Structure 1
Amino acid sequence: MKIKKLLSSILSTNAAFVILLLFQIAFLMLAVASLGTRFYFVYFILIILDIILAIYITNKNEPIAYRFAWIVIISIFPLMGGISYLFIKLSQQFPKSLDMRNQVQTKELLVQDNDIMNELSAMCPDALNLARYVSDYGMYPVYRNLNAEYFPLGEVQFERLVEEIESAKHFIFLEFFIITEGYMFDTLSELLIKKAAEGLDVRLMYDGIGTGMLNSVKPFRNLADQGIKCKVFNPFRPMISSVQNNRDHRKIVIIDGHTAFNGGTNIADEYINRKERFGHWKDTGIMIRGQAVWNYTVMFLQLWEKAENSELQKFSPQIPPYLSMLKDDGFVQPFSDSPLDEEPVGKRVYLELINNAREYVCITTPYLILDEEMTNALGFAAKKGVDVRIITPHIPDKWYVHMIAWNNYAQLTALGVKIYEYTPGFIHAKTCVADGKTALIGTINFDYRSFYLHFECGSVLYECSVIKEMVRDFNETAELSQLITMEDCNSRSVFKKIAGAILNMFAPLL
């Protein structure tokens, strides 16, 4: 375990900054020693080149905070900063063909039913534009909600997941960012091996860093030997490349094409509170049934492998009779967000929920790293009289992220946003509810990585009864949490304030 922690520290972004600084110092010492008076000429040329690079970055179609962070780095490290930016940008990326193939397949496989869109327009007219945006630009249609079940804790979700897997008849697809050995993994492994022996198509996909750097390959080889198809997404390679930033942060389970699970819960014992790491672990999730599960099936298979549409159609949902008899309960729109395009769907869904709220917005997130656009949206909503409340962890999993969050606490609190910290421990839930009518639940954090770098997913809910359960759970969680006041923000030490402000400048790169 110590070796894993050491590797994680060596490969972290913070370590990269230290390495850059050491290279910079070494270069300056070597240059002065070898070039003498000519060093000033060389250094002048470097400054000119970095100015040109800064102008180029300023005019790039990238988030302002990201461009600003790189310009600061290039200003501090004229040599290594510029070289690092160019190297990362010119290094190997995901093939563009992957994104184009996904777009073509999605358009052909996921076609919006106009009658359903018209029904949504009649029932929830304020949400029509959001549903149309996710359908047109996210390319995932909206469906009638037949059945949705909300899970206020990871352990509750895990119990239902085991029950549903036990009843699977045809196929089981699982996709997770983090998988670690323990009770949760052992329980699922035993069950999946049993189902594979019964002839079901069982597939498990996990991220190459989120999981691949935490575990040996032995457990997955054992699953593969027992008939389970295992796939590593974007395996870690010891090289500096922007492709290493594009992680599969999704958490999806699909059963027989008619039932799907999604939320913040990974396969690790802390998520179900059988292992304590940061106090009590608060996570949330959802199970949906019906035609909407097809969205999740398609997004899973697109990352899994290259396949013809005829192959994908084999997994189209076969709705059991008891589900088709259920009464419609609002609408649901599962979607995926890819870093391969220039459309931050997850962020824009959050922004639309915040901007359209008339009474209140309830948000839970483990990380609160905001850019100017999101800060302004939250602040403007509060200024309009909307009750904006956000719950974040009291016991963080990353100290520097918590320090950045406190930097945002001060800004938001001054604007009228209410910030709560979950006193019992760590809240990992990613939810947003607007006025009790529209909600988002999934894997998307309020940070740069989720908005721009990771593969993410979630479900937008429109006028579903399950939204009331989400609001009730939020209120109960807020009662267990500490309200952060402006006095709390002002009473922090000068060191923490300065450190938070500095870290906030580089937040998009952390």
Structure 2
Amino acid sequence: MKKILHLIFGRFFVVAMAIILQVLWLCVVLWQLSYKFTYVNLLVRVIAIIVVLVIVNKWTNPANKLSWTFLILLSPIFGLMVYFLFGRSGLTKHTRERMDAVNRQVEALFQRDSAEEKGLEKESRSAYLQSSYIDKWAGFPLYQNTQTKYYSCGEEMFPDMLEALRGAKHFIFLEYFIIEEGYMFNTILDILEEKAKAGVDVRFIYDDVGSINSISFGYYKKLQERGIPCVTFNPFKPLISVVMNNRDHRKIFVVDGYIGFTGGINLADEYINKVKRFGYWKDTGVRIEGEAVWSLTAMFLEMWNYINRSTEDYSRFLPSVYREKEFTSDGFVQPYGDSPLDNENVGENIYLNIINRAKNYVYIFTPYLIIDHEMLICLSNAAKSGVDVRIVTPGVPDKKAVYLLTQSYYEPLLKNGVKIFQYTPGFIHAKCFVCDDEIATVGSVNLDYRSLFLHFECGVFMYRSKAVMQVKEDCLRTFEESEEMDVSFCRRRRLPVRMVQSLMRLFAPLL
């Protein structure tokens, strides 16, 4: 009962209902006008055709084009309203220019070492090409002189996060999609307050929509009252607006410029299994220490100064400024970010490149499997070519509709030789790829449309670092704990379920 009352009176429900009512009111007004006045009806249809032509000719995902075209042609008024709200990046030209200006200032401090690039090319032409893509199209360089450590669950990573915070002497930058008061977040918050009082530069960013059901409105003020500078990304307001569509889904944790954490782990108790929501919550993360942390620092500073409309001397946050010892190498490490500001789908392309270049195996963790045709064909072709392709999805869903949609992709993949496992102990929220004992990536990028095309994301690409084999070992353990799916599982679904899944597939890019 408490959960129902919290949902009904929660900020998300109130704001969402306000927006829905505004959309419905506008739709009713337009429907009445188009019914009474022929020229209004004609104008709406002309606009619908123009918008469809624009969508069809956009450099974007074909499945996305099909879904929006179908919806707009099926119901021009409603389809246009929904498209203008959710179908486009909500960032204005001015906003993009402002963010680009901040990016240029930070990226000017990136130092590229041709010796490192040549060293990687000598070891693996395939890995070098992947690294080159990240550098040229995402803007994040390759590093050595960086140590890596992989965590197979949140409760493994949390003590190391606390140790890093307690050892902070100069600055702490945190950027998260979800925060929630509880043991995990409150423990971190107490340390942040203590460090801020000691003169450490502490800054915090959280996404307003990601945390809308877990914290109160204006929660950032509570952190500010405790001496912790805090801002929210893209506040969710009860007004029709296109800017709500892009979210900050990153998980960035930086201490003193040379210690960093990222992955799928947010700052809430389920991520360390202090509370049980959907059985055992399996999530993963990676710790990097050394020169590569600068890329995570740069991502944070770009977002911070974009939100605050500020600028500063970024060079004082470089890893070399505060390091207490020489950095040592652990393979090649390349953090990367993905942004909806451009048409370059960095997160998806990194995944596609890993699959396409795999020779022996690709193991994948993902909480959602809502993929476009290109990803489906890529996974299928790899499996058909003899590559051992395995995907682990949740055994217990966090969102039942999304879970049903995820399962709708099983049959075509299974028929083509891809092995799919459902994580029996509970919900897997991890986002990991590992390939051929050489390459791995751990980050925040889900295999769904919103994560791949609309959100700000981040991850770490690694070649022959310690973490690569640690990811593989975790995958092998997880397969043992999971149930392998087969085609008969898909065919046992009742006809109404199949029909619902088929309809959901049509609108998958919109979910």
Displacement of 1:260 after TM fit? 0.2
Show the counterpart of 1:427: 428
Distance 1:410 1:253, change over 3 A: same
The residue number in structure 2 matching 1:479 is 480
**Match of residue 414 from structure 2:** 413
Matches of residues 97-136 of structure 1 in structure 2 within 5 Å?
97-136=97-136
> Normalising by the residue count of structure 2, what TM-score does the alignment of the two structures yield?
0.92
Letter in 2 for 1:79: I
Contact 1:423–1:480 (Cα < 8 Å) also in 2: yes
Secondary structure at 2:194's aligned position in 1?
helix
Percent identical residues: 39
Q: Compare 168-177 and 45-54 and name the one that shifted more.
A: 45-54
Residue pairs, 1:65-214, within 5 angstroms: 65-86=63-84, 89=88, 93=92, 95-214=95-214
**By how many angstroms is 1:265 displaced?**
0.5
TM-score by length of 1: 0.92
**Are the counterparts in 1 of residues 99 and 302 from structure 2 also a CA contact under 8 Å?**
no
Amino acid paired to 1:324: E
Secondary structure in structure 2 of the residue aligned to 1:288: strand
Question: Which residues of 2 match residues 57-456 of structure 1 at below 5 A?
Answer: 57-86=55-84, 89=88, 93=92, 95-217=95-217, 220-306=220-306, 311-318=313-320, 323-324=325-326, 326=328, 328-456=329-457
Aligned-partner Cα distance in 1 for 2:249–2:303: 12
In 1: Cα distance, 2:225 partner to 2:299 partner: 26
Alignment CA distance shift 1:45-1:231 (3 Å)? closer
Q: Indicate the SS of the match to 2:445.
A: coil
User: CA RMSD of the aligned region, Å?
Assistant: 2.6
Change (3 A) 1:322 1:221: closer
Cα distance in structure 2, aligned partners of 1:122 and 1:309: 40
Alpha-carbon deviation of 1:142? 0.6
Check conservation: 1:339, 1:453, Cα contact below 8 A.
yes
Select between 445-454 and 305-314 the one with higher mean Cα deviation.
305-314
Q: CA deviation at 1:21?
A: 8.0
Task: Report the Cα offset of residue 465 of structure 1.
Answer: 2.1
- Structure 1: how far apart are the matches of 2:81 and 2:477? 50
Deviations 1:158-190 (Å, cap 9, x if unpaired)?
Answer: 111011111111111111100011111111111
Distance 2:354 2:390 in 1: 13
Q: In structure 2, what is the equivalent of residue 55 of structure 1?
A: 53
Q: Measure, in 2, the Cα distance between the counterparts of 1:90 and 1:157.
A: 34
Distance change (3 Å), C-alpha of 1:351 and 1:394: same
Deviation at 1:49, TM superposition (A): 4.3
CA distance, structure 1, for counterparts of residue 290 and residue 398 of structure 2:
36
SS at match of 1:174: strand
Q: Separation in 2 of the partners of 1:80 and 1:321?
A: 56
Distance 1:11 1:419, change over 3 A: farther
Q: Which runs of 5+ in 1 are unaligned?
A: none
Tell me: CA distance 1:483–1:26, structure 2 relative to 1, closer, same or farther (3 Å): farther
1:226-263 per-residue CA deviation (whole Å, 9 max, x = no partner) reads: 22111111111223333211111011110010100101
User: Does the Cα contact within 8 Å between 1:157 and 1:285 map onto a contact in 2?
Assistant: yes
The aligned amino acid for 2:347 is G
Closer, same or farther in 2 for the Cα pair 1:396/1:19, shift >3 Å? farther
Task: Evaluate the alpha carbon distance shift between residue 153 and residue 83 of structure 1 in structure 2; reply closer, same or farther with a 3 A threshold.
Answer: closer
Q: How many residues align?
A: 502
Classify the secondary structure of the residue corresponding to 2:493.
Answer: coil
Distance 1:245 1:150 in 2: 32
Q: 1:31 to 1:228 in 2, by over 3 A?
A: closer
Change (3 A) 1:507 1:319: same
